Structure 1
Amino acid sequence: MKFSTIQLFITDALKSLRRNKTISIASVATVMATLFVLGAFVMILLNVKVGITDVESQVEAKVFLNDNISIDDQKNVLGKLNDIPEVINISFQTKQEALNQWKVQLGSKNKELLSGMEQNNPLPNSYIVKVKSPEDITKVESSLKGVSGIYEISDGRDIVSKISAVTKTVKWVGGVLLVILVGVSLFLISNTIKLTVYARRKEIGIMKYIGATDWFIRWPFIIEGMVIGFFGAVVADIVIYNVYALAYNRAGSFVSTMMTLVDPMYFVTNLSWAFIIGGILIGALGSILSIRKFLIV
Structure 2
Amino acid sequence: MSLAPRAVVVHRRTEYEELIARHGSRGQAAFFLSTRGRTLDEVEQRHHRALAALAEVAAAVPLDWRRSRVERADLDRFLFTPEDVLVVVGQDGLVANAAKYLAGQPVVGIDTEPGRGLGVLVRHRAADAARVLRAVAAPGGDRHLEERTMVEAVADDTQRLLALNEIYLGQHSHQTARYRLAAADGAEESQASSGVLVGTGTGATGWCRSTWLERRSSLDLPGPGAPAVAWFVREAWPSPLTGTGQVQGLLAGGERLTLTVESDQLVAFGDGVESDALRLTWGQTVRVGVAAERLRLFG
TM-score (norm 2): 0.21
Higher relative contact order, chain-length normalized (CA < 8 Å, sep 6+): 1
Q: Which is helix-richer, 1 or 2?
A: 1
TM-score (norm 1): 0.21
Q: Which is strand-richer, 1 or 2?
A: 2
